[in-house]
Structure 1
């Protein structure tokens, strides 16, 4: 092996040890041979490269920390967006349209097709079903309007189970209005919807709900 190559490899191996005599070498002068100054020059280059690598490592560490911070902020923004849930819809747009009366063969789910607000897009005006986007406590309010020829009112269902309802029987007055409010703790993907009473008939009614807070 060439002596210069051997000395250079030895110097590289010792560079990480930072031995005192190597640092002395950097200031040494040899008037008889160029080998020592050349090796010392190479050592300086290696030391410079090491310092650059250390600087790059520190820069990389800082970039990783910044990326982690930005990722966390993005996740927080996404979470805040998921926490914005509110909807309100009416069952008809016209003033002369009635729903019902419900029979065994007719659909029971009330579809509030005219949407006023649907922040979070959790309510479907195609199915009439609200699907919980995030676990939390929600408030629901509904109002039904009917006439005196049939019973009126509606039932609020959670995952197909009766929660609260309103009901008004036939009477001498021309029309009847009923309303109710409930606060429910729901899991993600729970469903909430309204159904009509058997034989019930309603007019321009409203169904609304919103997230109070997550749990």
Structure 2
């Protein structure tokens, strides 16, 4: 009987630990979300640059969790989890733009418009991806390409944590 009581006490302690851990997860769920536009003021082209260049989205609408850095244009995961990212691109005059969503230097998805005589073209793309702590996500402008904005916030970059893993 004493052996069974000792076993039940151990199980009870483990169950209490599990309950405390679950409470901490529910009450302490990380909140990560950001949304930003390319320009905080002014108008005109960004680019072209001679090399592939991360775009710096300066007009921050929200940055819960402070994972997005407007000085670099880079989102850095502070929590391991599954994330959603979306970006948009706008080009004026003769279309000449290619932008890509990048994770740690790896191209995930792109939007482009580089031919034709039409003007004012736009596009967007999105992904759902797993990230490890420290992973970087950013939007990259291809070399010798450009995007345009005039305060209407055509070029945006947003992301949020769906769930932790």
How high is the TM-score relative to the length of structure 1? 0.60
The alignment covers a number of residue pairs equal to 142
Q: Report what 1:90 is aligned to.
A: 37
Q: Say which of 55, 69, 73 aligns to 1:128.
A: 73
* Structure richer in strand, relative to its length: 2
Within 5 Å, which residues of 2 pair with 1:45-84?
Answer: 75-76=24-25, 79-80=28-29, 83-84=30-31
Within 5 Å, which residues of 2 pair with 1:104-143?
Answer: 104=51, 108-143=53-88
Higher relative contact order (CA 8 A, sep 6+): 2
Q: Report what 2:119 is aligned to.
A: 174
Larger radius of gyration: 1
Q: Report what 2:160 is aligned to.
A: 210
Is 1:146 matched up with 2:63? no
- SS at 1:153's partner residue? strand
Residues 34 and 158, structure 2, Cα contact 8 Å, conserved in 1: yes
Is 1:155 matched up with 2:155? no
Deviation at 1:103, TM superposition (A): 1.1
Matches of 1:76 and 1:181 in 2, distance apart?
28
- SS at 1:167's partner residue? strand
Matches of 1:110 and 1:135 in 2, distance apart?
24
- SS at 1:121's partner residue? coil
Is 1:99 matched up with 2:99? no
* Structure richer in helix, relative to its length: 1
- SS at 1:145's partner residue? strand
Matches of 1:116 and 1:98 in 2, distance apart?
21
- SS at 2:159's partner residue? strand
Compared CA separation, residues 182 and 103, structure 1 to 2 (3 A): same
Moved over 4 A (4+): 71-78
Matches of 2:164 and 2:33 in 1, distance apart?
13
RMSD across aligned C-alpha pairs, in angstroms?
A: 2.2
User: Per-residue displacement from partner, 1:137-194 (whole Å, max 9, x unpaired)?
Assistant: 1010000101233511311110111111111113221211011011101111111011
- SS at 1:98's partner residue? strand
